[in-house]
Structure 1
Amino acid sequence: MRIQDIIEGRKEWRAHVARVKALPQDYQIVYKELQKYLFKVGPVELTEGTELLSGIVELFEEGAALGKGVLEVTGRDVAAFCDDLIKDSKTYADLYQEPVDKEVAKAMKKAMDKTK
């Protein structure tokens, strides 16, 4: 990664954070919790850019502009809202599950071969 890319990434992130800080307080609270949730269980590509997070901020900006409360936008189950956003994305949980599944299959095959 070039230094210019790092600098550009930081500028984009600072602009993103400024947009979040401009949201009403209830939106900021939900955004921060949503962000924590996504960083823990979210898609692998989340760390490669801010497209998903920027899309959420855009949705929140529109909701706030229409005078809606944040839970009118996300629904009361914010985690389910997040899960719906990433339902078609490969998550960190998927990355952890794949090797476990492979090891179990390998061990089961080995055990079955011994019983023959």
Structure 2
Amino acid sequence: MSISRIAATVIGDKRRWRAYKARTSRLPESHRAAVEALERYVMYFGPADGGSAATMFEDLADLFEQAAADGTPVRVIVGEDPVDFAEVFLQNYAKGGWVSRERERLTAAIERAEREADGGARS
């Protein structure tokens, strides 16, 4: 990958991030506070690549902008369990996140161990 392409990718993602932050700064206080809390959470568990992360944050802004325009309270958006909301939201962006890769690796390892145990019992 050329230096100019890398620079364009980084600058593009940075522009998307700044645009996202500008959008969320215009939300009503309650919605902005909720977005900031969700942002902190999904930073840890969301996609690792810049493009997917930018798309995820843009979608989060879309959701809260529409809810604010409709007068929908934050609790109606996220439900009784904000962690559950965040986890369900993240499922749309799971590929690329380190947590999802580790979950897949764990599942594959257990399945492999199970196959080995089944194969060993037949011998």
TM-score by length of 1: 0.73
Q: Is residue 92 of structure 1 aligned with residue 98 of structure 2?
A: yes
Q: Spell out, residue by residue over 1:23-67, the C-alpha distance to the aligned partner (whole angstroms, 9 max, x if none).
A: 11111111111112112223x356433112111111111111112
1:81 match = 85
Cα pair distance change 1:99/1:5, threshold 3 Å: closer
Deviation at 1:18, TM superposition (A): 0.3
Which amino acid counterpart does residue 51 of structure 1 have in structure 2? Answer: T
How many residues align structurally? 115
The alpha-carbon deviation at position 87 of structure 1 amounts to: 2.9
Residues 1:48 and 2:54 aligned together? no
Which stretch of the first structure deviates more once superposed, 95-104 or 50-59?
Answer: 95-104
For 1:14, give the aligned amino acid: R
Per the alignment, do residues 74 and 98 of structure 1 end up closer, same or farther by CA in structure 2, a change over 3 Å counting? closer
- Rounded Cα–Cα distance in structure 1 between residues aligned with 2:85 and 2:111: 33
User: Residues 59 and 97 of structure 1: is their aligned pair in 2 closer, same or farther, counting only changes over 3 Å?
Assistant: closer
1:3 is aligned, of 7, 13, 20, to: 7
The equivalent residue for 1:30 is: 34
- RMSD, matched Cα: 2.9
CA spacing shift, 1:103–1:75, aligned 2, 3 Å: closer
Structure-2 change in CA distance of 1:73 and 1:103 (3 Å) = closer
Relative to structure 1, is the Cα distance of residues 46 and 82 closer, same or farther in structure 2, using a 3 angstrom cutoff? farther
Unaligned residue ranges in structure 1 (runs of 5+): none
Q: 5+ unaligned residues in a row in structure 2: which ranges?
A: none
Secondary structure of the structure 2 residue equivalent to 1:63:
helix
Deviation of 1:103 after TM superposition, in Å, equals 5.8
Instruction: State the Cα distance separating 1:79 from its structure 2 match.
Output: 1.2
Counterpart residue type for residue 33 of structure 2: I
TM-score (norm 2): 0.70
Closer/same/farther in 2, CA of residues 107 and 61 from structure 1, 3 Å limit: closer
User: Distance in 1 between the 2:74 and 2:98 partners?
Assistant: 27
- Check whether the contact 2:13–2:50 (CA below 8 A) recurs between aligned residues: no
Q: SS state of the match for residue 2, structure 1?
A: helix
3-state SS of 1:86 partner: helix
Q: Percent identity, please.
A: 21
Give the Cα–Cα distance (whole angstroms) in 2 for the partners of residues 103 and 84 of structure 1.
24
